[in-house]
Every structure is written in C-alpha cells, then in structure tokens.
Structure 1
Amino acid sequence: MQKTLSRRSAIALSAAAAAAIAARPAAARPAVVPVIWDGKKMYETFKAQGAGFSYPGPADRPVAYVAIDPQCPDCMKFTENVKPLLSKVNVIFFPIAFLNINSEPQGSTILASKEPWKKYDEQHEHFRDPEFRGIRYDLAKLPDDLRNKVWTNTKLHRRAGCRAVPYGVFKNSKGEYKPFDENLSTEELAALFEVKL
C-alpha cells in the first residue's frame, strides 16, 4: 500500500533537506585544470622568481600564489571572492601581461607603488570606468627592469602550463598542489585554503 504525503509533510521534508544541504561544510570545486598544468612548478617558480604583492596581515598565514591580469574581469571577480579571506591567507598576486596592451604597464604601475595592494584596489575601483579600464600610467616613468618583472611573471605562468587568468596554486597540508580560479566562491576558497570564514 502506497502512502501519500500531505502538503504540510512535503513542505517540512523539503525544508529539512534544504537545511541539511546548507549545514554541510563547503567543499571546494576544482578549477578547470589544463592537462599540461604543473602545480609544483608553478608554486616553486613563482615563489623563487616571481614579482608579486600581497595585502597586509599576519606573517604566519598559509601562502597561495595567483597570476592576475589588471585588464581581466575574471581577476576582479576573483579578488572580490578572496578578499574576506586575506587576513587568514597570504594570497600573493603576480601581475602578468595576458590580455592586451594595457596589461603590462598597469601591472608594472601596481608593482612600482609603495603600497601595491592599494594601487590594485584603485585598479579595481576604476575597472568599469567608461573612458579607460583601470588606472592610468605613464610609460616614460616605468623602468625597464620593473616592466621585465611583469614579463617574467607572464613566462612563469605560461611555462607552468597555465592557460587562463586568474590562475593560482595552493600547497595544502597534505603537500598537494591545488589549483584555483575565479569560479570558486569565498566559501569554496576557504575550504581549499583550509581556513574558516
């Protein structure tokens, strides 16, 4: 004999199922990983040879590395998602020249700043300006050695097998090199970085 649920019972069951799903801990979805991506190589080469910046915070935070392009809308989305975690994770941003002619000079301008995280925030603030996307720059005031640092970051990104921006790597407590990108929510990034919100 088949039992039928009353409308009230069906609603109660649906609410209980939704509550159970919401109560589960966040599990980070993996980023889309190119078959040639080498997480260990990305982690080690960016650490040893890259030029990046991070937001101020405690010195003992776990470290993550991410390649960003100042002209990239997805990088702006990633930055918004990761910002609530920056006091718990030392995300080091490495500007690269990936998308267009303004990428390298804007990245160089950010790196040239005494407080590069503030200059990056300014880039974010002006990203949707109608006349020009992001911060203005003066090529004549950007030294070649600084500009070359952005190109070095770009080469490291490419040689590690990255094919998109933003693209990052985190070495977890098991020694695994985990990729991440803009598709992860703040909760999913926290799970990947093994920190609590």
Structure 2
Amino acid sequence: MQSIVSRRKILIASLGAAAVGLTRTAQAAPANVPSIWDGKKMYDSFLKDGTGFSFPHKPNAPVAVVAFDTQCPDCMRLLTRIKPLLNDVDVIFYPISYMNIHSEPQATTILMSKDPCKTFEEQHEHFKDPDFRGIHYDVSKLPEDLRNKVWTNTKLHRRSGCRAVPYGVFKNSKGEYVPFDENLTTEELKKVFELN
C-alpha cells in the first residue's frame, strides 16, 4: 500500500504535467457569442444602415464589420492586433455609444473628421493619457445628424444580439458569419479573415 506522502508526490507530479500540457496548447478564446447573436443580421444591417469608416486597403478586399466604443480598452487592443491586416481586409469600424458619457461625443468627433482613420488613431494614441481618456471634443460643435448616426450604430449593435464591445463579424468564403473580438491574436485574426 502506497504511503500518503508518495500518493501526494504522484498527485503533484500529475497536476504539474497537466499544467504544462495546458500551457502548450493554450490559445486565445474566440469571441464569446451570445445565444441571441445574429451574425448575418449584424453584417447586413451595419453595411446597410450603419455609419462607419475604414482604413485604406487593397481593391476587392474582403469585408469585416466591427462595432467599437472609444472608451473601451478592449477596443483599443483590437485595433492594435488588427492593424497589420488592414491593407488586406476592409475592416469597417462603426463607433457606438456603450461605455460612458464620452463615448458618443468622441464617436461623433471621429465620424465628422475629414480623416476618421487618423482621428481614430489619435484616440488610440491618447487613450492612456492620465488626465482624459482619448481625444477631446466640444459638444456644442457636434452635428445632431452625426450624433444620431452613432445612436443608430448603437441600436444596430444591440438589435443583432451583441452584448459587448468590440464585436466584429466577417463573412467568409463559405458564406459563414464568423465572430471575432480583441481576444484573438493577429495570427488568429488572419485565419478568421482567410489570409493564410
């Protein structure tokens, strides 16, 4: 009969081996998909009724749709991870108002910019500023029609079953609507966008 000490040693060794195995195979989890999420509805409704912007990309690049909030740290992480792929995929960014009172005015400021991509990059760059998160804005100078477009984006996000930001969807070559978020690495996003 094994002693308690030797059984403990075997148990500890087994747990250690299991932990090593887990770290070797661990990778980022895919987007957490709510049961009510409708990928087709999100993709189609944002393209039809949403107001967004995309970075310069090659002609006929496949299209991805992303809802984001300017006040969301995970959204800034997604931009960092997806940025190397923006030439090969037409990622259309749709700003929504989800996090706090600065979300909608900053989103409107981005949309009204002559260069929304540049302003979005400024938001990203200043996101960790100690005094204020992101770009500054003057509410009195924000056009009501653009503010309403941010709220339309927000409604489209909610009505398609999204419950978080950032949330993206890509229609792949098989016609499947594949969700993605900030949890995926650049390499994993390449696989989602069929760039490998």
Equivalent residue letter for 1:135 = I
The corresponding residue for 1:173 is 173
Residue correspondence of structure 1 range 46-195 to structure 2 within 5 A: 46-195=46-195
Distance in 1 (alpha carbons) for counterparts of 2:28 and 2:48: 27
Are the structure 2 counterparts of residues 172 and 29 from structure 1 closer, same or farther at C-alpha, using a change threshold of 3 Å? farther
Shift of 1:28: 8.1
Judge conservation of contact 1:29–1:188 (CA < 8 Å) in 2: no
The one-letter code of the counterpart of 2:73 is P
Q: Distance in 2 between matches of 1:59 and 1:113?
A: 24
What is the TM-score when the length of structure 2 is the normalising length?
A: 0.85
Q: May I ask how many residue pairs the two structures share in their alignment?
A: 173
Q: Quick check: 2:50–2:156 contact (8 Å CA) kept in 1? A: yes
C-alpha deviation, 1:30, in angstroms: 2.8
Show structure 1 runs of 4+ deviating over 6 A: none
Provide the TM-score with structure 1 as the length reference: 0.85
- Using the TM superposition, give the Cα deviation of residue 64 of structure 1 relative to its aligned residue in structure 2, in angstroms: 0.1
Encode CA deviations 1:153-197: one digit per residue, 9 max, x unaligned.
00000000000000010000000000000000000000000013x
What is the alpha-carbon root mean square deviation over aligned residues?
Answer: 1.6
**Amino acid of the structure 2 residue aligned with 1:130:** P
- Structure 1 contact 28–192 (Cα < 8 Å) conserved: no
- 1:146, 1:30 → 2: CA distance? 32
Partner secondary structure for residue 107 of structure 1: helix
Corresponding residue SS for 2:179: strand
Give the residue type in structure 2 aligned to 1:170.
Answer: F
Q: Give ranges in structure 2 of 5+ residues lacking alignment.
A: 1-23
Q: Which amino acid aligns with 2:55?
A: Y
2:115 partner letter: E
Show CA shifts across 1:48-98 (max 9, x none).
Answer: 000001101212110000000000000000000000000100100000000
Aligned equivalents of 2:29, 2:102: Cα separation in 1: 32
- Percent of aligned positions with the same letter in both sequences? 67
